[in-house]
Chains A and B, each alone.
Chain A
């Protein structure tokens, strides 16, 4: 299987008046055809900025400083961000689903107009056939009475329904890849389950690749085949999802797993082990591993050498840590 999208050594900085924020610092990942990958990390770890950079959606003071984004054999970072080529990719070949369905839909345009716009631009459809396709899409994502509701406006939809509209928009031009940036963070658990099941069914059926960007470990465990864990602008661990959850090798990943309460745990059973301290300030990054101040495994080497690169610790399993943390510790 060939990679549909490959991000290679991407660096994005934000030049603010307080200093340079290293939001994404040399990040590489790929997604294969028909594959679902998960990008996990806490707020500010650079997971969203990395996908926005790939789509050239970074605004000043942000700047993509280096790296390549290979899609269809071409480096799309070389395209003019406002040019014809980039626009045919955004929303056409690569679609995005954003976190806030309230703010990412235009409140003064009908659902119909918002769905048909992309169809007319990318697929050259006429108004009538675009409308028919829009209705078809809307019923595909489970909006009841699609033919009637198509003329409604976003405020007449509930949060979950709006996110369904976002999914319909993303699928409208048969993209090769969908990037879902925290697609279910703003909705309730049962709605989250509905939406994720729907997305999973659709991308599997249409053989579309999917990148799920989230902070929720459960969501990636359920749907992603491979996982990238990010911390302070870098990928610190990657591998097949079963491997990462069963045998995490980076102290941050291990810390995360230990700190989340799990369903079915008895009161007073397991005590949560929190990760001490806070994520670092991205302006004043230490030359050493950024997780060092919070790490319980640190050695002398960690304090002396720069942030380690990812190294192989298993077939397809890589971690950015000097310390050999034994299996199933």
Chain B
């Protein structure tokens, strides 16, 4: 592997995902929801890239584009060197085996009428990965891997607790031995004392199986804990992308700074002396984003050129990317 790019499992270039707004009797196209608006990044082999941002910033849409659950409006997505952005379903199927997905809500992402074993075996059947004989063994193997008792394969989802259901979701994502797993808010619906169990499980699995994660969440503390690098999104664009350590120690984008300071720390002494940046106003609608930098109406550093020029995501050294004209 002489080319440095060869160790990039996913490469996203100028990705745009617009959802049309159709109104009236004739369903005329009156505008677009710009869920993802021109973003570029890559995910290295065996690393965890965290994607944080508030609701509606496009983080889930980005994940779904990589899974090709959506057909992107423009831009390219390459997976292990193959451009999949406009590939047909049939050609996509063998590649999809290499991608897994874990979803947020362990209640609605599992079919309540299917047994846990059959939920996990579905991807194996679809990709013809196991004969009937091997199936049972593979299922109990997967059950053990995620810390569930293999004797519970015949139970249906409501017989499991929230944390256990999320384990079933993880087992399903790993069934086809994928190389990439998109984790979309995998712990947000769980109780605090259960969250750590799932975070640790995801970390152990990554180490044991050499997985690559795209970890999508709104909780920056969790994302930082699990990620090698973190991308901060705001209104469809990436504002800052750097190693998770650097993001905490040296956040450069005004939005990242505000986001960090908004998170209350479980430490009353540190809280007393901490400087807080409370943002003014609210996130604008992605149907009608402000011109120039999307963050400028709420930004304290904004000057007159911020509402004209779209700041590019530029490398300021050491793989620290930031999209701000004032930095």
Contact = CB atoms under 8 A, between A and B. Distances in A.
A217 to B, nearest CB: 4
B195 interface: yes
Given A267-B244, A267-B245, A260 B267 contact: no
A221 B271 contact: yes
B138 interface: no
A1 interface: no
Contacts of A194: 278-279
Given A267-B225, A272-B225, A242 B268 contact: yes
A256 B194 CA distance: 10
Interface string A221-249: 11100000000000000000110011000
B266 A278 contact: no
Interface stretch (A111-119, A183-191, A315-323): A183-191
Interface in B273-314: 276, 278-279, 282-283
B66 interface: no
Contacts of A261: 196, 199, 221-222, 224-226
Interface in A172-201: 188-194, 196-197
Interface residues of A, number: 47
B248 interface: yes
B197 A263 contact: no
B286 to A, nearest CB: 13
A147 to B, nearest CB: 19
Contacts of B227: 267
Contacts of B163: 278
Q: Is the interface of B mostly helix, strand, loop or mixed?
A: helix
Contacts of B126: none
A170 to B, nearest CB: 20
Interface magnitude class on chain B: 35 or more
A12 B227 CA distance: 43
B191 A42 contact: yes
A160 B248 CA distance: 26
Interface stretch (B4-12, B24-32, B256-264, B319-327): B256-264
A34 interface: no
B54, B55, B262: residue with the most chain A Cβ atoms closer than 10 Å: B262
A221 B264 CA distance: 7
B266 A218 contact: yes
A264 B248 contact: yes
A43 to B, nearest CB: 6
B14 interface: no
Contact of A257 (B244, B259, B264, B266): B266
A222 B267 CA distance: 8
A262 B192 CA distance: 13
Contact of B225 (A215, A216, A265): A265
Interface string B218-245: 1111101111100000000000000011
B249 interface: yes
A267 B228 contact: yes
B107 to A, nearest CB: 13
Nearest to A223: B264
Contact of A274 (B197, B220, B265): B197
8 interchain residue pairs of minimum CB distance: A218-B264, A274-B196, A261-B225, A259-B196, A193-B262, A188-B54, A217-B266, A272-B196
Given A272-B199, A272-B200, 20 more contacts: A42-B192, A189-B263, A190-B279, A191-B282, A192-B262, A193-B278, A196-B264, A218-B266, A222-B265, A222-B271, A245-B266, A245-B268, A256-B192, A257-B266, A260-B266, A261-B199, A262-B266, A263-B263, A267-B48, A267-B245
25 contacts: A158-B282, A160-B282, A188-B54, A190-B262, A193-B278, A196-B264, A197-B276, A218-B266, A221-B266, A221-B271, A242-B268, A242-B269, A245-B266, A246-B269, A256-B193, A259-B192, A262-B266, A263-B220, A263-B260, A265-B224, A271-B200, A274-B194, A274-B195, A276-B197, A279-B193
